[in-house]
Amino acid sequence: MKMASSENGSKFFFIILVFVLPFREFINLEEFSFPSAIGGNRLYFRSPEPTEMLKIGDVVPRFMLQDQSGKLRNVEEFLGRGKLVLFFYPKDETLGCTKEACEFRDYQTEFEEAGAEIIGISGDSVESHRQFVENRQLNFVLLSDPDYSVHRQFGCRQGLFGNIGIRVTFVIDSHGIIMKVYSSRIRFRNHVKVALDAVLKMNEKLKEGKPRGNP
């Protein structure tokens, strides 16, 4: 009897590994549950308590991460050059993340002309980022955050063990102040539109001499 329960449990976890985890980009695993094979109880996957996501007006935490070439990059070097669009995404080469990254690639010139630099961050390795940049001809920096430490600083993590990044874009001014936050799991390309609109509105306010605030 115990052996049968054990086998059923193993099969259930195999189903989760094969059919659920590949689509974790679209599933809120913090709320995911399924009937247990043992006793009919429900088993819940819950990640550790998430850090509150940073919001408009917050100061960006300082951090250093490796880029796709393995070079250690300090966020302050980007802030010193102007506005920054920092987008967190779940995983290289997945459907939604590829669409989002390629949309940022296609609008890179518009961002550059508006005085903004683009950076993508995920938990993927440096090598994965290198291949992603090469395969998709990306024209901006990708940073590797394998232990999700920077994700935690920004409040951008979820999953069974708090080790899955979520899709959030931050628009940051040259002083390191967050001016816009946009979060959407499935509106991949909308991240680019919202970020560019925010950057352009920031420029308009600067021309008008208005104080910084929510674009």
Catalytic positions, written as ranges: 97
- Do residues 90 and 159 touch, judged by C-beta distance below 8 A? no
Q: What is the CA radius of gyration of the chain?
A: 20
Single-letter amino acid code for the residue at 64 = M
CA distance linking residue 12 with residue 121, whole number of Å:
33
69 HSE (CA, 13 A, CB side): 7
**H-helix or E-strand spanning residue 13:** helix 2-15
- Do residues 171 and 213 touch, judged by C-beta distance below 8 A? no
Q: What are phi and psi of 206, to 5 degrees?
A: -65, -40
End-to-end CA separation in angstroms for the chain: 63
SS3 144: strand
